[in-house]
A and B are shown apart, each in its own frame.
Chain A
Amino acid sequence: MPSFVLPLAEINLMWYSVPLIVAISLVYSATRHEAMGPILSHAVRLGLMIAAFMAVIMGVLWLVSLQL
């Protein structure tokens, strides 16, 4: 096992998505604004939107899996 694993992610792999969501939100928001304040507030909103979207998709897939 590599030495750079996230301890929480060893319990659930979904934790590996958190650093990615943070990085994607910050970089995308930085391409929309120039000042740090709007970048950070946009990044928080975007990160929450991505997490919520993923949670909804996961819920739908879980419901679908119940029918299988």
Chain B
Amino acid sequence: MSKAAVSASSAPEQPDAVLELKDPVVAAVLGWLIPGLGHLYQGRTAKGLLFMVCVLSTFCYGLFLSDGRAVYASWADWDYRLPYFCQVGVGLPALPALLQTYLVRGGKAPLMGGMMAPPVTPAELNEWYRTLHRYFDLGTVYTMIAGLLNVLAMYDAWGGPVQLDEQEEKKRTGQQPSPSGT
């Protein structure tokens, strides 16, 4: 179980309060699965809800802006979908793309009306660009940023706010005896 001291400027209502991080690894994994869930697990409800709303709304808006096409996993020679590595930072909401890829590559029909399914041919991908044009790229940007923001949120669930590190460092250096022993 990990604890961290909260600086007075971070929590003015509770100076020198101790922040209970519980199991930071579990919190980070939960925070990856559902943005903000790691903080809710730690009892940091307000921040958990803030992360959840910010990350999920950004992700969902990007997804719907592109009609569900911007998030998909593809490793085809003609379409190596690198943005998915950022998008998957959102966790569970981006994982249906893997199932859709498995279904499509196996010759089966994708679920959910083809949302998050990869294009089968280059012509289909071209058709997406033709019909969605800028919305496809905008959706890709929104969903990528949502995934990357969730990485920040996961780090916060794992280690606490950055300011805590600074305060702990000050305490640590302040407690060390001077080299001269005075």
Contact = CB atoms under 8 A, between A and B. Distances in A.
Interface of A: 1-5, 13, 16, 19-20, 22-24, 26-28, 30-39
Contact of A23 (B13, B47, B138, B145): B145
From A16, A23, A37, residue with most partner B Cβ within 10 Å = A23
| Chain B residues touching A, range | 35 or more
B19 A26 contact: no
Contact of B65 (A2, A13, A34, A36): A2
Interface in B22-40: none
Interface of B: 6, 9-13, 19, 44, 46-47, 50-51, 54-55, 57-58, 61, 64-67, 132, 134-135, 138, 141-142, 145-146, 149, 152-153, 155-156, 160-164
A30 B11 CA distance: 12
B55 A23 contact: yes
Contacts of B162: 31-32
Contact of A30 (B12, B58, B138, B156): B156
Most buried by A among B47, B67, B132: B47
A5 B12 contact: no
A4 B47 contact: no
A33 B19 CA distance: 12
B152 A28 contact: yes
A5 B65 contact: yes
User: 3 shortest A-B CB distances, which residue pairs?
Assistant: A34-B10, A4-B64, A31-B156
Given A4-B64, A26-B50, A33-B161, A16 B6 contact: no
27 contacts: A1-B135, A4-B65, A13-B134, A19-B57, A19-B61, A19-B142, A20-B58, A20-B142, A20-B145, A24-B145, A27-B50, A27-B54, A27-B55, A27-B152, A27-B153, A28-B152, A30-B47, A31-B152, A33-B163, A34-B6, A34-B19, A34-B161, A34-B164, A35-B12, A35-B13, A36-B46, A38-B10
Contacts of A13: 134
Contacts of A31: 152-153, 155-156, 161-162
Nearest to B10: A34
B149 A34 contact: no
A34 B12 contact: no
